Structure 1
């Protein structure tokens, strides 16, 4: 029995997005221990098949389409799922239709968050869900952030998907409130990748090293890049002076060492060049390695989401940097589950130095807060995946 699963996976040109891969990997693992296999929808099917040991098929063909063309393609694919029309043999969605014929259900996994800034993800996920519905297959939505920027048409597409889903899971309360306004039955929990690889162990946590781990996103929401990079460099020099050695780890970057810096890794090099203190770089690697690195750091400074998802359950103190309302909602949600709340706007970086010192000094309290919550979060997550597996059998 297999579950057709869409996340946002596929390493192209050697560039990996750790968080998106992590959520798919977690879903594969959680379903596997409950007796269900997955078929992945991927930007690079052969690469994903080799990475995860599962059958993978191409995406549905929405990349590069404007909204009118995407709407037409959505109708075409749903009609094809009904059997009312036939796709061309070279259509990438033909393999998705074949996988649907063998699937027990569809999982809309985390990754490609559903907001109007990424219409391709809105159309992909809502169309796949509609294709499943006309085949009388159950759909589960898991690990999502909804909005906050959703125009009326996109909101209605996403709302219809959640209302018809067997289960809908979100990872912060703002998304849950929005889904409830759509009359969806919604579950709120920690991110699906929080316990990837088994989660933090007794040996993980801020006492494991003196490392200040840094993971930055190039999304500055229109702010002058040079000014933001200069302010981050000053913040990290302060971290090096007061906490420990600074290590950069790109969550969107070249998978292997020795590659030309790109994505977050290129930003890291620009920030490093502005620092007066030395720093180190760790290649992006894979999701399990990234999780271990975050869980064993002394302090995390991040504007990426999944470093916080990995670090917070281990009680690692986190200073999160938000560029806009979307990133603030995600980062606040990730930290709030574990009793942390230090999210600062990029405009306030010059005032963040004493805050960083205070966060680093509160390690014991932060670790205790995570320890008090972890058993409940583990149990809730296990119950969620039990329900997902039951719905998709």
Structure 2
């Protein structure tokens, strides 16, 4: 018995994307805890195999294809799975098809890439699900954000993916409403990585953790970086303690120099007049512990909020566009009142929000603690359902 799990994983060029790896790690761990082994689809199969201790295969070969070519490839792979044709020797999807034929189903691990801006991921997931159904195998879709940017063909593919799944889940109410508009009934719950590692904050200094995305949503870089620096300095004056920057998309080897989010962090740090330090990117559990131990989290990345909120950490979500707003308000809303600020309006509203969060830290912690047992129970029940799907004869 095994389940083929697709997530946006694989360390390429030494760069770790903490959130994508975290959701996949959580899914594999929940399946494993219920006696269901996994095989992963990865951009770096050997690296992922070593990281998770599972079998892995490479992706399906959609990277770089335009919409028409992707549609043709999807039709080819679906026909190959159902036995109507065969793949050419050396086709990159050959190992995926072989693994699929040995599996008991497909799990689409949690993610935020079912949107037209990442069309390749829509093609991959919709096609893999169609291949599984062609073999009579069940498909489960877990913990997704849908859109919000979805061109009509992509919306149809995503709706088909969810509608053809035995079980499907999203991670915030906005996505649930979109699914309902398509006539689909999906589960809405916390992100798949919400309980990765220990939820209880570690002992030690609290202070401020800053995790910024390099994507500024069209805001002018120099002015935005200056606003971020002013916000961080004001927050440091209010909260106190160590000021730590931590990249959720960054290099695993700090000696290689700052890249990804870490490059933005360095530009902001250069503008500060208060001391700060860098906590290197290591792995999802390390990032989760860091976020959960903060006295205040300032983040435009999603998964720092996912990690911090269950531990009752006061969190200010910095919103760059509709997509990040939907995700951050969803992640924080599961645990209480979400507090967010538009990236282009930080000087006007963010300092006051930091003061409010600092003053309300006991209430924030109590609210999260009051919701923890229910979210854990619902989360566990979801994964019990997922495991039961793959144990059932089809």
Interval of TM-score (by shorter of Structure 1 and Structure 2): over 0.9
Equivalent residue number for residue 31 of structure 1: 31
Q: Counterparts of 2:89 and 2:251 in 1: how far apart (Å)?
A: 34
C-alpha deviation, 1:209, in angstroms: 2.5
C-alpha deviation, 1:354, in angstroms: 1.7
C-alpha deviation, 1:68, in angstroms: 1.1
Q: Counterparts of 1:285 and 1:208 in 2: how far apart (Å)?
A: 19
Equivalent residue number for residue 373 of structure 2: 375
Q: Counterparts of 1:163 and 1:181 in 2: how far apart (Å)?
A: 12
Alignment of 1:355-370 (within 5 A): 355-370=353-368
Q: Counterparts of 2:168 and 2:228 in 1: how far apart (Å)?
A: 37
Residue 349 of structure 1 aligns to a residue in which SS? helix
Residue 255 of structure 2 aligns to a residue in which SS? coil
Q: Counterparts of 1:214 and 1:297 in 2: how far apart (Å)?
A: 10
Q: Counterparts of 1:263 and 1:270 in 2: how far apart (Å)?
A: 12
Cα pair distance change 1:112/1:363, threshold 3 Å: closer
C-alpha deviation, 1:356, in angstroms: 0.8
State yes or no: 1:45 paired with 2:42. no
Alignment of 1:7-156 (within 5 A): 7-156=7-156
Equivalent residue number for residue 275 of structure 1: 272
C-alpha deviation, 1:140, in angstroms: 0.3
C-alpha deviation, 1:340, in angstroms: 3.0
Residue 77 of structure 1 aligns to a residue in which SS? helix
Q: Counterparts of 1:78 and 1:185 in 2: how far apart (Å)?
A: 26
Equivalent residue number for residue 236 of structure 1: 232
C-alpha deviation, 1:259, in angstroms: 2.3
Q: Do the aligned partners of 2:70 and 2:123 also contact (CA within 8 Å) in 1?
A: yes
Equivalent residue number for residue 333 of structure 1: 330
State yes or no: 1:211 paired with 2:207. yes
Equivalent residue number for residue 164 of structure 1: 164
C-alpha deviation, 1:208, in angstroms: 4.7
Q: Do the aligned partners of 2:45 and 2:58 also contact (CA within 8 Å) in 1?
A: yes
Deviations 1:145-182 (A, max 9, x none): 00111111110111111111001110000101111222
C-alpha deviation, 1:335, in angstroms: 0.2
TM-score, normalised to structure 1, is: 0.97
Q: Do the aligned partners of 1:168 and 1:184 also contact (CA within 8 Å) in 2?
A: no
Residue 176 of structure 2 aligns to a residue in which SS? helix
C-alpha deviation, 1:256, in angstroms: 3.0
Equivalent residue number for residue 222 of structure 1: 218
State yes or no: 1:316 paired with 2:313. yes
Q: Counterparts of 1:76 and 1:275 in 2: how far apart (Å)?
A: 55
Equivalent residue number for residue 345 of structure 1: 342
Q: Counterparts of 2:112 and 2:189 in 1: how far apart (Å)?
A: 18
Residue 146 of structure 2 aligns to a residue in which SS? coil
Equivalent residue number for residue 354 of structure 1: 352
TM-score, normalised to structure 2, is: 0.97
Q: Do the aligned partners of 1:210 and 1:243 also contact (CA within 8 Å) in 2?
A: no
Residue 258 of structure 1 aligns to a residue in which SS? helix
Q: Counterparts of 1:47 and 1:7 in 2: how far apart (Å)?
A: 14
Q: Counterparts of 1:338 and 1:77 in 2: how far apart (Å)?
A: 42
Task: Give the root-mean-square deviation of aligned CA atoms.
Answer: 1.1
C-alpha deviation, 1:112, in angstroms: 4.9
Deviations 1:232-288 (A, max 9, x none): 000001112221221000000001332211000011001111112121001110011
Q: Counterparts of 1:375 and 1:362 in 2: how far apart (Å)?
A: 22
Q: Which runs of 5+ in 2 are unaligned?
A: none
Q: Choose from 246, 250, 253 the match for 1:253.
A: 250
Q: Counterparts of 2:112 and 2:322 in 1: how far apart (Å)?
A: 17
Q: Which runs of 5+ in 1 are unaligned?
A: none
Which aligned segments of 4 or more residues in structure 1 are displaced greater than 3 angstroms? none
